[in-house]
């Protein structure tokens, strides 16, 4: 059965029909039975060469788990022909955990008689009010079984009460995800369940709404300044394709300015959250939210006037459920413009003349809810040629029960008996750069303060040092704010009007360092955290920094393994892997729901344009001027 594909853009994500057709082709060719999970069904993205050569074949890539033997399989389906064209076993790995499996695992724990007995010991009689968050297990258990661990909370109502305000201390259920059997219940000791008082963030729950917030409307009477044709977006000289995958969620493809390529593919390819609390109930918490779960199915349906303001265009997305069905996510991706203040300005005090242009940016965003936390993924394109990424972190702290007044040194008590552990969030951006062509060279740029000499008699001279990162071993780098260290991606082909290679620079954001020890269980699986920057030559199967299957992995995969080859990087098709993040010591102000915290980075043109590319942005509309 060939999928009724009407798609003409080869980078358009799979439609619901294509997901269903891909699953049907696998089922037709393989005797899978019922005990099977479709972990992910996604577009098999065409190579750069295939994209350049007309209409590439339309293919799906699937990860399939057969529960009876725990074997992982990778499949490729030709959607043009409606048949399975490649099938291989991947022994010794545990694929990502689908959200459906978490639902099933949580229900299995709540239904378990041992768990109910432990609840009864705590005076909890109604198991329907108990919510369980299953978590990936890391590498703290027997590696042969595919497991999840569930922590529990008590809700006061089923209408959106903040269950995290009532952690059921000391209680953990361990589930085998292949059989949905509850392996055991760990009980680390009784603690009173907190009252939950002050934990409700719903409007009016704690105080009446403030009355001094006046209306604020964005009107764009002529409509937005961008055009959206299918998944192809054009705005202020920029063109790009908006993609979506089950693992990364939002992906940007073929970002170009005035037809000149800048970045072939940009995504956040991993997001890890190591907690720093050895309390036995929560000690296992270190999550790979992208590699262990996949963000696609967790993306919110966005609403006008709430998540974005102004003239919005939305893109829907399709993901697979674990049984191979297609799930529609309406309004998954939001596209809109934002005013960001002034773009450039000068007041010529001699003549009294002022010239000013207002800045606008194009925002392409989505928000994923991973259990308690919300992650907003915001890509920005500027009129000045800049590209930015910002993560917005919000939602509810993940809590644990503690004795009142005694959270220990690794957590903040945010309400009596409710503790939130210290933790960090690390985002790894994968940037397949194509600055004016496929062949690029990465150069580290930093300030060079000069020693006092006859040329520097007053001691304030500094210049700029540049060093080519010519091999993978030389391109494992860390941020260094004292010397304004940046990484420049130079075109091997094009020169600007002063004869220098055209280039974009990666401007690092908050360069946090992992607190987990280098030989910790967590760091073994997340070796990419050893450096803020890695550079590799493009290889189609090098997609995620901790490897394809980080769930319960013993480590050793991903950037750590690939870069051992120490491949040359000069004048190559380079991929930048850049890690930034947020160091989170919970505050009282983060409770009961956390105000947004931001982190991110920029890609800034450096000699890519021959002059300020935004001179032609017209002056502000008349209503800005007093006359
Ligand atoms: Ni946090």
Tens digit of pLDDT for each residue in 207-259?
A: 999 999 999 999 999 999 999 999 999 999 999 999 999 999 999 999 999 99
Tell me the CATH class for 16-90. alpha beta
Whole-number Å distance, alpha carbon 431 to ligand 1 midpoint, is: 25
Q: What pLDDT sits at residue 53?
A: 86
Angle at 448 between CA 447 and CA 451, to 5 degrees: 150
Q: Quick check: do 16-90 and 227-606 share a fold?
A: no
Residues facing 90 on adjacent strands: 72
State in Å: Cα 423 to ligand 1 middle: 6
Q: Rounded to whole angstroms, how far apart are CA atoms 191 and 276?
A: 21
| Integer Cα distance of 245 and 427 in angstroms | 17
Report the pLDDT value the prediction gives residue 241, as an integer from 0 to 100. Answer: 98
- Percentage of residues of the chain with pLDDT beyond 70: 98
pLDDT band with cut points at 50, 70 and 90 for residue 1: very low
Beta carbons of 465 and 446 less than 8 angstroms apart: yes
Q: Predicted confidence band at 306 (pLDDT cuts at 50, 70, 90)?
A: confident
Reply yes or no on whether the pLDDT at 370 is more than 80: yes
| pLDDT band per the 50, 70, 90 thresholds, residue 7 | low
pTM across the whole model: 0.96
Tell me the pLDDT tens digit for each residue of 445-497: 999 999 999 999 999 999 999 999 999 999 999 999 999 999 999 999 999 99
How far apart (Å, rounded) are the C-alpha atoms in residues 318 and 335? 17
Residues contacting residue 442 through CB under 8 Å, at least 6 positions apart: 468, 469, 475, 487, 488, 489, 490, 535, 569, 574, 576
Give the pLDDT mean for 540-562. Answer: 96
The percent of residues in the chain predicted with pLDDT above 90, rounded, is 92
Sign of the CA dihedral with 400 first, then 403, 404, and 407 last: negative
Q: Which CATH architecture has domain 227-606?
A: Distorted Sandwich (2.70)
Asked if omega into 592 is within 30° of 0 (cis), the reply is yes
Q: Which residue in 245, 218, 248, 220 sits closest to 231, CA to CA?
A: 245
Topology (CATH level 3) of domain 99-187:
Nuclear Transport Factor 2; Chain: A, (3.10.450)
Distance of CA 95 from the midpoint of ligand 1 (Å)? 25
Q: Report CA(462)–ligand 1 centroid distance (Å).
A: 39
How far is residue 151's CA from residue 167's CA, in Å, rounded to a whole number? 8
Considering only CA atoms, which of 102, 576, 141 is closest in space to residue 294?
102
- Phi, psi (rounded to 5 degrees) for 180: 60, 30
Residue 420 Cα to ligand 1 midpoint, Å, equals 9
Within 13 Å and on the Cβ side, how many CA atoms surround 130? 29
Mean per-residue pLDDT, 409-426? 98
Q: Looking at residue 308, what is its pLDDT?
A: 87
- Residue from 190, 209, 189, 206 nearest 198 by CA: 206
Give the pLDDT confidence score for residue 6 in this predicted structure: 52
Q: Are the C-beta atoms of residues 382 and 388 closer than 8 Å to each other? A: yes
Packing angle of the helix pair 113-121, 99-111 (nearest 10 deg): 60
620 has pLDDT over 90:
no
Q: What are 537's strand-pairing partners?
A: 574
Where are the domains positioned within the chain? 16-90, 99-187, 227-606
Segment 95-109 shows an average pLDDT of 95
| Catalytic center residues | 289, 373
Contact 130, 152 (CB under 8 A): yes
């Amino acid at each position: 059965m060939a999928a009724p594909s009407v798609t003409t853009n080869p980078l358009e994500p799979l439609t619901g029909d294509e997901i269903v057709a891909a699953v049907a082709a696998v089922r037709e060719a393989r005797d899978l039975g019922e005990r099977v999970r479709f972990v992910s069904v996604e577009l098999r993205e065409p190579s750069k060469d295939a994209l350049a050569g007309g209409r590439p074949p339309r293919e799906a890539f699937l990860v399939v788990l057969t529960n009876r033997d725990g074997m992982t399989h990778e499949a490729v389906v030709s959607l043009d022909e409606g048949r399975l064209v490649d099938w291989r076993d991947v022994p010794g790995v545990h694929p990502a955990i689908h959200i459906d499996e978490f639902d099933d695992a949580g229900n299995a724990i709540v239904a378990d008689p041992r768990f109910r007995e432990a609840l009864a010991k705590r005076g909890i009689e109604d198991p329907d009010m108990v919510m369980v968050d299953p978590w990936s297990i890391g590498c703290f258990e027997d590696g042969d079984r595919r497991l999840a661990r569930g922590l529990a909370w008590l809700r006061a109502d089923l209408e959106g009460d903040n269950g995290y305000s009532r952690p059921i201390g000391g209680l953990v259920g361990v589930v085998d995800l292949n059989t949905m059997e509850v392996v055991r219940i760990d009980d680390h000791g009784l603690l009173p369940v907190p009252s939950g008082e002050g934990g409700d963030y719903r409007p009016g729950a704690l105080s009446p709404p403030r009355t001094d917030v006046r209306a604020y409307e964005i009107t764009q009477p002529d409509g937005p300044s961008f055009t959206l044709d299918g998944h192809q977006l054009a705005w202020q000289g920029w063109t790009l394709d908006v993609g979506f995958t089950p693992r990364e969620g939002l992906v940007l493809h073929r970002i170009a300015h005035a037809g000149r390529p800048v970045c072939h593919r940009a995504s956040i390819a991993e997001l890890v959250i190591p907690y720093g609390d050895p309390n036995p109930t929560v000690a296992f918490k270190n999550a790979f939210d992208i590699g262990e779960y996949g963000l696609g199915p967790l993306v919110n349906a966005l609403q006008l006037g709430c998540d974005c303001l102004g003239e919005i265009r939305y893109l829907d997305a399709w993901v697979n459920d674990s049984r191979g069905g297609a799930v529609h996510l309406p309004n998954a991706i939001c596209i809109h413009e934002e005013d960001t203040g002034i773009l450039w300005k000068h007041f010529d005090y001699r003549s009294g003349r002022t010239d000013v242009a207002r800045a606008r940016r194009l925002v392409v965003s989505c928000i994923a809810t991973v259990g308690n936390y919300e992650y907003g993924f915001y890509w920005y394109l500027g009129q000045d040629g800049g590209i930015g990424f910002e993560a917005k972190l919000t939602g509810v702290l993940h809590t644990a029960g503690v004795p009142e007044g005694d959270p220990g040194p690794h957590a903040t008590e945010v309400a009596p008996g409710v503790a939130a552990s210290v933790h960090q969030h690390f985002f790894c951006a994968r940037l397949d750069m194509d600055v004016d062509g496929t062949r690029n060279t990465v150069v580290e740029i930093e300030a060079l303060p000069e020693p006092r000499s006859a040329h520097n008699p007053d001691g304030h001279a500094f210049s700029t040092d540049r060093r080519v990162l010519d091999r993978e071993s030389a391109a494992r780098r860390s941020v260094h704010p004292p010397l304004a260290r940046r990484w420049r991606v130079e075109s091997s082909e094009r020169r600007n009007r002063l004869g220098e290679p055209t280039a974009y620079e990666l401007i690092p954001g908050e360069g946090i360092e992992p607190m987990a020890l280098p030989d910790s269980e967590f760091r073994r699986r997340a070796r990419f955290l050893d450096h803020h920057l890695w550079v590799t030559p493009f290889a189609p199967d090098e997609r995620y920094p901790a490897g394809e299957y980080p769930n319960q992995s013993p480590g050793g995969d991903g950037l750590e393994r690939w870069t051992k080859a120490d491949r040359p990087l000069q004048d190559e098709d380079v991929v930048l892997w850049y890690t930034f993040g947020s160091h989170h010591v919970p505050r009282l102000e983060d409770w009961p729901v956390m105000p947004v915290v931001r982190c991110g980075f920029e890609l800034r043109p450096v000699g890519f344009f021959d002059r300020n590319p935004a001179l032609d942005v017209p002056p502000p509309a008349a209503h800005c001027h007093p006359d």
